[in-house]
Amino acid sequence: MKNLNNYLVVFCLTLCISCGQQFSFKKTSPSMELSNGVYFYPYEKSQETHRQNAYAKNEMSVFFQVVDSDGVSITNLNANDFIVRENGIPISTSNLSWDTPSNGVDIVFVIDETNSMSGIINSVKANVRAFVSNLSSKSLKSNLCLVTFRDTVTRICSNFVEDIPSTLQNENSEDFLEKLNTIEAIGGGDIPENQLDGIQQAALQTPWHNGYQRAIIMITEAPFHYAPEYLGDAGDAAPYYENVVDLIQSQQIMTFTLAKNGVPGYTSGFKGRPSLSESTGAEHFDIQRVISDASEMNKIFGVIAERLATKYTIRYTAEDNGLDPTLPLSERNITVTLKNPIPGASVRITSRSSSYPSGVPQQNTRWTLNPPFAIASASLEVWMNGSPSPISYSLNGGDLVFASAPPPGAEILAKYEFADLRNNVKIFPIFTKPTPDYYTFKTKFNGIPTDPEHVRITQTPDGKNMIEPQDCVFDNADPFKIRTNGGLFVSFEMIPF
C-alpha cells in the first residue's frame, strides 16, 4: 500500500462586539490521520464566549456640617454620632467610611476676563484678603489659584504658591492678587463665553492637595457656550454641559457660581442635570448684587467661607446596604441626623455625590449568539465562570436569555451544535500519491462500506488522488452514525482490478 500524506486545516473565527461585551466564536474541525489510511474528522460543538459588564460599586458621598444655634461649627463628632438614611433605609455604621473635617481648602477662581468684567475683578481684589482671613478664623487654611477664560481658556492653574507661616504676609494670597492684577478685561467676541471649559480645565489641570477640600468660584456676566448645539466662537473647545457636571461631581469640587440669574445651568437645571452649584452642594449668587453694590462681594465671600468650613464626609456603597445601585442620584433622598440630639444643633448637608450620578447601568440578561448556521436548540449548554450556569436560560430567536442577570464580569460560555449535521463537521479532501491506473479504492465511513454516491475520487493534474466524502454522507438522518461516533472515521485501501 502506498504511503499517504495527511492534510490538516483549522478553521477559527474570532469576533468582537461593542457596548462593553466581549464575544468570540470558535469552530475547530481538523482532519487527523490516526494511522496509515485512516483519517478522522471530529464532530464538534461550536462555542461562543461573552462577558457580563463589570462595574465598580456605586459609592455615595455625603458632605455636611454640624452647627450650633449660633451657626458655629461643631467639630468633635465621629461616625457613630450620626444616623444616615437613604430613601428611609438606615445605613449600617459598619458599612460607613468616615472623613474628619479637612483643615485646608484649595480654591480656584475661574474668572471671565472680557471687557465687561473690570469692575467685578476689582471687587474680587478688594475682598480677597478678608476672605482668606475669614477662612483662617475658622481654622481652615486656604490656597488660592486663578483660571481665566474668554471664548477659550487663557490661563490655567499650574501650581499653588505655598504660604510660609513664619512670615507676616500670606504668600499665597499675595501671589493670587498679583495674578489678578495682570488680567486685561478686553474683547469677548460673541456674547457667550467658555465658562464650562474654564471649570473643566480647573478640575483637570489644578494640582489639588491630597486631603484638602476642593472649590471653584466661577465669576462671569455672560451665558456659556456648550456642545454640540451652541459652539459659537468657542468652536470645538466648548465641552458638553453633562460632562462638566459629571467631572466636578466625581472630583467632589464644590462649584460656586457668581453669574446672572435666569440662565439655565446657573440658577436652574440644564440638559437634564442640576445646575453647576446644585450638583456639587454649593451655591449660586446673582452677579447683579456686586454690580449694584461692590460691598456685596464681601458678603458673598462670607457665605462661601461658611459653606466651606468644617465639612464632614460620610461614604457608603449602595450594593452593601441593600440599596438599588441603578437609581440616579436625583432619586436618592439622603438624610443625616444626630443619634443623640444636641440642643440647638442642626445638620446641614452641603453636597452629595455618586460614582454613578445616573445610576449603575442595568446588567445584561440577553446576548445575541452569532453562529454562521442555525443552532439545534436542544444542544445548547451554557457555562458561567467555568461551571454549568446556576441561572436558568433559554434560546429565544437567536438570543441567549437568562432568567436573571449574571454577576458583574461573569464569563459566559455557550456551546451548541448546528441544526444541520453537515455544519458540525468540517471536511477537507484527502490526497494520496499517484497510483497506477489498474488500482481502485475501497472506502469505509465509520466502518460502514460506502456506495459510489457516498465518495468522490478524482485525479489532480499532478497525478495525485483526491478523496472527498459527498453531502449525502452528512444527511440529518445520519446514515453513518457520525453523532454516535463523535465524528467521521474515513478508511480506505487501494486494490488492483
* pLDDT tens, residue by residue, 46-66: 999 999 988 888 888 887 888
Please tell me which residue, 100 or 2, carries the higher pLDDT value.
100
pLDDT (0 to 100) of residue 100: 58
Mean of pLDDT values over 106-135: 87
Half-sphere CA count of 14, side-chain side, radius 13 A: 2
| CB-count burial class (<10 Å; 0-12, 13-18, 19+) for 419 | middle
Nearest to 281 by CA among 339, 361, 231, 213: 213
Pick the closest to residue 4 from 440, 457, 491 (CA basis): 491
Q: Which three cell numbers stand for residue 214?
A: 476642593
Indicate if the pLDDT at residue 28 is higher than 70.
no
pLDDT tens digits for 394-414?
Answer: 999 889 999 999 988 999 999
Q: Would you say residue 8 has pLDDT above 80?
A: no
The three cell numbers locating residue 350: 452641603
- pLDDT over 60 (residue 196): yes
Average pLDDT score over residue span 104-124? 89
Query: Do 409 and 441 sit in the same domain of this protein?
Result: no
In a domain, 286, yes or no: yes
Regarding whether 109 and 255 lie in a shared domain, the answer is yes
Based on the domain organization, do 373 and 445 belong to the same domain?
Answer: no
Q: Are 456 and 7 contacting, i.e. CB atoms less than 8 angstroms apart?
A: no
pLDDT band at 30 (very low <50, low <70, confident <90, very high): very low
DSSP state of 351: E
Q: Do 261 and 402 belong to one domain? A: no
The residue out of 424, 450, 465 marking a domain boundary is 424
Give the pLDDT of residue 76: 79
pLDDT at 438: 64
Residues 395 and 302 in one domain: no
**pLDDT score of 7:** 29
Cβ atoms within 10 Å, residue 262: 10
Cα–Cα dist 129/163, whole Å: 13
Say how far apart CA 497 and CA 349 lie, in whole Å: 99
Residue bearing the bigger pLDDT, 18 or 287: 287
Q: What is the pLDDT of residue 125?
A: 84
Section 312-330 average pLDDT: 87
Please give the tally of structural domains in the chain: 3
Contacts of 329 (CB under 8 A, 6+ apart): 249, 352, 353, 354, 357, 358, 359
Q: Are residues 256 and 108 in the same domain?
A: yes
Residue 440 lies in a domain: yes
Residue 130 pLDDT: 86
Quote the pTM value. 0.51
Q: What is the pLDDT of residue 206?
A: 96
**Cβ distance 24 to 14 under 8 Å?**
yes
* Domain stops at, among 242, 275, 309: 309
Q: How far is CA 107 from CA 35, 124, 182, 320, 412, in A?
A: 80, 13, 19, 34, 48
Compute the mean pLDDT over every residue in the chain, rounded to the nearest whole number.
84
Domain containing 400 equals 45-53+363-424
